[in-house]
Amino acid sequence: MEPRIGDAERDVAAARLGDHFAAGRLDHEEYDERLDAIWSARTHADLDQVFWDMPLVSTPRPAPPVAVNRSRDVRFPVWMIAVAAIVLMAVAHVPWFVWLILLVVVLKRPWARGHRAAWRHSTGHHPGWGR
């Protein structure tokens, strides 16, 4: 005895039948008759009877995910940024608020956030503590 099918199998069969109808292999009346047969089917053999004279329709597969090239994500070590800042400070006369903005930008980098989180964890410091 063949196992019974469920609504998921009937949904797949109805979608296949809809593809055949869209391709012009069935007229509207025959489509309705076969759709009724799908919803009253109890086994895979019943579903096979609906498609006995239809060609196999291959369903398109989704496109594979595109690999992201992360080779352009350049990260400079903190010491390189510090050396560049000191050299720039020695050569150019830049106002203090520009250095403050530069410091905020450097500390907002994703790699810097990870270091600050590790420091907070190791020292037990949390912004919400001690209020």
Residue 34 covered by a domain:
yes
Is residue 58 domain-resident? Answer: no
- How far, in Å, are 66, 106, 119 from residue 76 at the CA level? 27, 10, 20
Choosing from 15, 32, 50, the residue where a domain stops is: 50
Q: What is the pLDDT of residue 30?
A: 93
pLDDT in tens, 40-53: 999 999 988 998 88
Domain annotation covers residue 20: yes
Residue 1 located in a structural domain: no
pLDDT tens-digit series, residues 52-102: 888 876 555 556 677 666 555 556 677 777 777 777 777 777 777 777 787
Residue-averaged pLDDT of the chain: 75
- Digit-coded pLDDT (tens) for 6-27: 998 999 999 999 989 998 999 9
The pLDDT assigned to 103 comes to: 74
Determine, yes or no, domain membership for 65. Answer: no
Evaluate whether residue 41 is within a structural domain: yes
Task: Flag whether 55 is in a domain.
Answer: no
Please give the pLDDT value at position 131: 46
Contact 126, 120 (CB under 8 A): yes
Distance CA(83)–CA(105), nearest Å, equals 16
Residue 71: the pLDDT is 58
Q: Domain residues for 41?
A: 7-50
**Residue 76 covered by a domain:** no
Rounded to whole angstroms, how far apart are CA atoms 127 and 76? 27
Count of structural domains within the chain: 2
